[in-house]
Amino acid sequence: MDTEKQTTTWPKPLAPSFYRRPPEIVARALIGKTLLHRRDDQVVGGVIVETEAYLAQSDPACHAARGMTPRNRTMFGPEGRLYVYTIHAKYCLNAVTQRAGVGSAVLIRAIEPRWGIEVMQQRRGQHASDRLCRGPAMLCQAMGIDLQHDGVCLTETTTVWIGRSVQRIIASQIVTAPRIGISQAKEIPLRYFVRNSPFVSGPKYWHKTAP
């Protein structure tokens, strides 16, 4: 049983104004912030160490590029909402950015687990902490996030929220690199991650070669 006390003071959620900016700015600013999920008095989560921005314009890799559909309509809703979608029967989670009607978001690719680690290990069937949330599908599985959470407000602590930082990450630690796992617009440097973090997904050579 996880030993995290219910009296823990959880990081306060970010204000809606945080998300009311271009996704590339939000994506970088999210590094070091916290992602948490509360269910049945149990909170799991950690520190965000990897994100990707998806632009509303001139970005064919963005789901919004095809216009609004039943699948992506949350992207066109208010900023600060959780956009969850499926790919290969797995889930990915995003924070909606800018304003309603625009259609942009930030994919959260990885976190450094900090709270509810035992619960995450059970969900993932994985003990190694650096394998719990390293990649969007692993992250959703460990966090217990699926399509029922699509549209959740990230600025409230009711279910899923993004909170303030609990540790300082200096600017020089944040790497900018091309996005991975997509077939279009792969060359655009819209992926952000903490250099040398073992919790980051993708090829390790980016830690050495990225500026």
CATH code of the domain containing 167: 3.10.300.10
Q: Is residue 23 part of a domain?
A: yes
Does 188 score more than 90 pLDDT? yes
Please report the pLDDT score of residue 208 as a whole number: 64
Using 50, 70 and 90 to split pLDDT, how confident is the model at 210? low
List, for residues 98-126, the tens digit of each pLDDT value.
999 999 999 999 999 999 999 999 999 99
Q: Is residue 47 part of a domain?
A: yes
Does 84 score more than 60 pLDDT? yes
For 95, the domain range is 16-209
Please report the pLDDT score of residue 205 as a whole number: 66
Q: Is residue 74 part of a domain?
A: yes
The length of the chain, given as a count of residues? 211
Using 50, 70 and 90 to split pLDDT, how confident is the model at 95? very high
The number of distinct structural domains making up the chain is: 1
Please report the pLDDT score of residue 202 as a whole number: 81
Q: Is residue 52 part of a domain?
A: yes
Of 92, 96, 108, the residue nearest 30 (C-alpha):
108
Using 50, 70 and 90 to split pLDDT, how confident is the model at 2? very low
Q: Is residue 115 part of a domain?
A: yes
Upper half-sphere CA count for residue 204 (Cβ side, 13 Å) = 4
Please report the pLDDT score of residue 41 as a whole number: 85
Please report the pLDDT score of residue 178 as a whole number: 93
Please report the pLDDT score of residue 103 as a whole number: 97
Q: Is residue 38 part of a domain?
A: yes
List, for residues 14-54, the tens digit of each pLDDT value.
999 999 999 999 999 999 999 999 998 899 999 999 999 99
